[in-house]
Amino acid sequence: MSGELTESPSGRLSSYALGKLQRKLDSQQGSSALLLSDSFIGDDACQLVARFIQENSYLRKVDLKGNSITEKGLRYLCESLGPESSIESLSLEWNNIRNNLEPLTNCLVQNTSLRSLDLRNNSIATEGAKKLASALQTNSTLKKLDLRWNEIGAEGAKALVYALQNSGSIESLEVSGNKLSEDLLWEIENLLEKPLKGSIGSSSEPTPSYFKPENIHSKYEAQILENARKASKINELEIKHYQETKRAQDQYNLLESKYRNEKNAKARLEEDLGAQKKHFESKKQQLEETITDLRNRLNSANRKVSELVMENENLKGASSAYTDNLHDLEGNISYLQKQIRVKEDKYQSKVQELELENNRTLKELKVQHESSAKRLEDKLKSLQSTKESLEMEVASQKLQITKLKSSHQEELAELKNELKTEEEYQTSKLKQKHQERIQALSEENQNLNSKISELKFELQANTERHQSSAEDLEFSINKLKKRNNELKELLQRETSKLTETKEELELTKSSLKTLKDQHWSLKKQLEETKESHFAVLKEMREKHQLQIQELESAKHSLDFKKTDLEKVLSKTKSERDKAIVEYDSLAEDLAAKTNSLISQVVSSHVEYFQKSFS
């Protein structure tokens, strides 16, 4: 229907629907009647309608038929029907008020303008009828009350009869379609002092109620409208099911988007960890390169020292002065070696400290991110194994150096023996060579001092670079910690949202349970009227049961069976339309037969009276 206002999945009107309702209200400004029948405005929009009624004192008639109004919406409307209200006619037909009539009964006690109240098809039971009866005893202005096609029962009708006996304002009370006995209907008619249709002459004996055509028509009309009411309830349940499925789909889409965001955040975190790991590996590779470079330089220095030692040993026997110089050079070289060893030990300690800090940070990241930390631990183990292998290589190289030293010492001993034999011959030549060699050694000593200063400068630069890299690592670790805390907060928020969605899902389950209960109550009513209805209603009931089973199974597979439900709904709607057409044709046939039967009865009565008078 083009005039309907669609509700959002949460049961509230959307902003578009509220704007549409506001436009409808604005279009009826200045009119004495507010017509909003079959608009499905719901409870929340009743607040807007009540404000419109309060602001427009010229209104006399309000039609809110078929708007899915419950107790909440009725409370909003009754706030606008106080003692100063000007509304004379109020129609609440085809809503869902049930027995929640306290706002209306309180309003009837104070209201003095309302003349007509239509409460047809609201599933009002005995309790609601008793509440209305107690309100009618105090109200003195209501003239017409329509309670057709509800479920007030015999006790509710008796309470209304008692209210009519104590109140003189009610002139019209319609209660057909409530499964009442003929005696109660006749008693209500007598209390209202209505002329009986179908009486002939001046006879005081009333015509039996089953010969009254209005009762026959009202019964048949009540039956048809009761079936239409059940069909409308089925339609309303289908709309609610569609809204619940849409709401569940929206929640599923929301959770899926949150899961994708979490997945993307996790991927970004893994990328950051990978980048940090690559940065750490590059830093470690640079450190290893500098270590190997220093070791190579140390080896070259050791080789030069061994060469100098051999030359010193060769030149020992040449001159005592030269040997003294050589001892000094050896002392300087040993001092330089000690300094190099100390610096190397410091450098290795710094490297170990950096490795310990990195291991510490990796352990913290391991607690926070287990999957990525395992891979990092494996790589750290491999790096430690490579480090151990490198240390083993260094140890082996040291052993080789000691072996070479021992071999060199043996060779030196042999050379000493040879030098003793050739000492006298080589003395004169060695003096000249010693002088030249001393000059060369002094130059080499200067070169070594310059190289040592360069090595010191490089070591200082390396330490500064490593300190900066360590600061970068600390900054990146702090950044990762902050990111991890943010992810923890986000995870807590998402878990809270998940609990909220779980609670909403439980609410939807409870609503589905209530819908199921309504389905079963409708099924019982359909079983009560099954024998007196047509064969088409039996087929509709079977299909309705199939739909209920599909609804129960659709709780676990709503997404996959939407199309099937739409097909079944379209099929049932077409069959319902066919059934309504058949109802209309049968109603016409029944009306024709009823008229013919009435005419026959009337003619037989006339003949009977004529014969009796004759």
CA 205/CA 199 separation, integer angstroms: 8
CA 308/CA 563 separation, integer angstroms: 95
Residue 452 has pLDDT above 80, yes or no: no
CA 348/CA 364 separation, integer angstroms: 24
**pLDDT for residue 373:** 54
Residue 541 has pLDDT above 50, yes or no: yes
Mean pLDDT of the region 203-215: 41
E strand or H helix that includes residue 34: strand 33-35
More confident: 328 or 594:
594
Mean pLDDT of the region 263-274: 79
Reported as a pLDDT band with limits 50, 70 and 90, residue 372 is low
CA 340/CA 295 separation, integer angstroms: 10
**pLDDT for residue 602:** 82
Name the phi and psi angles at 147, rounded to 5. -120, 30
Residue 118 has pLDDT above 70, yes or no: yes
Q: Lowest mean pLDDT: which of 65-69, 130-134, 342-346, 426-430? A: 426-430
The overall average pLDDT reported for the chain is 77
Token pair recorded at residue 1: 């229907």
Mean pLDDT of the region 219-248: 70
SS3 146: strand
CB proximity list for 540: less than 8 A, separation 6 or greater? 572, 575, 576, 579
More confident: 296 or 470:
296
Residue 8 has pLDDT above 50, yes or no: no
**pLDDT for residue 369:** 64
**pLDDT for residue 566:** 79
Mean pLDDT of the region 404-422: 72
pLDDT digits (tens, 9 = 90+) for 146-188: 999 999 999 999 999 888 888 768 889 999 889 888 888 888 8
**pLDDT for residue 2:** 41
Name the phi and psi angles at 32, rounded to 5. -85, -5
CA 35/CA 63 separation, integer angstroms: 5
More confident: 275 or 330:
275
CA distances to 279, 284, 351, 510 from 377, rounded to whole Å, are 16, 15, 18, 50
CA 148/CA 119 separation, integer angstroms: 8
Q: What is the 3-state secondary structure (H, E, C) of 405-443?
A: HHHHHHHHHHHHHHHHHHHHHHHHHHHHHHHHHHHHHHH
Q: Lowest mean pLDDT: which of 323-337, 388-402, 507-521? A: 323-337
Q: Lowest mean pLDDT: which of 133-137, 198-202, 595-599? A: 198-202
**pLDDT for residue 579:** 81
* Burial category of 418 from C-beta neighbours within 10 Å (exposed 0-12, middle 13-18, buried 19 and up): exposed
More confident: 20 or 452:
20
CA torsion 260-262-268-273 (nearest 10°) is: -140
Mean pLDDT of the region 80-96: 92
CA 17/CA 139 separation, integer angstroms: 37
E strand or H helix that includes residue 472: helix 370-528
Strand order in the sheet with 172-174: 33-35, 61-63, 89-91, 116-118, 144-146, 172-174
Q: Lowest mean pLDDT: which of 70-84, 190-204, 562-576? A: 190-204
E strand or H helix that includes residue 116: strand 116-118
Residue 9 has pLDDT above 50, yes or no: no
Residue 517 has pLDDT above 50, yes or no: yes
Number of H helices, E strands in the chain: 12, 6
Residue 203 has pLDDT above 50, yes or no: no
**pLDDT for residue 532:** 67
* Contact criterion met (CB below 8 Å) for 174 and 148: yes
Type of residue numbered 559 = D
**pLDDT for residue 474:** 76
More confident: 219 or 390:
390
SS3 88: coil
**pLDDT for residue 120:** 94
Token pair recorded at residue 74: 């009725």
- Looking at 3.40.50.10190, 3.80.10.10, 2.70.50.30, 3.40.50.1970, the CATH number of the domain 15-218 comes to 3.80.10.10
**pLDDT for residue 427:** 67
Residue 413 has pLDDT above 80, yes or no: no
**pLDDT for residue 342:** 78
Reported as a pLDDT band with limits 50, 70 and 90, residue 358 is low
More confident: 78 or 189:
78
Reported as a pLDDT band with limits 50, 70 and 90, residue 290 is confident
Mean pLDDT of the region 511-517: 77
Mean pLDDT of the region 270-274: 78
E strand or H helix that includes residue 299: helix 213-316
CA 340/CA 331 separation, integer angstroms: 14
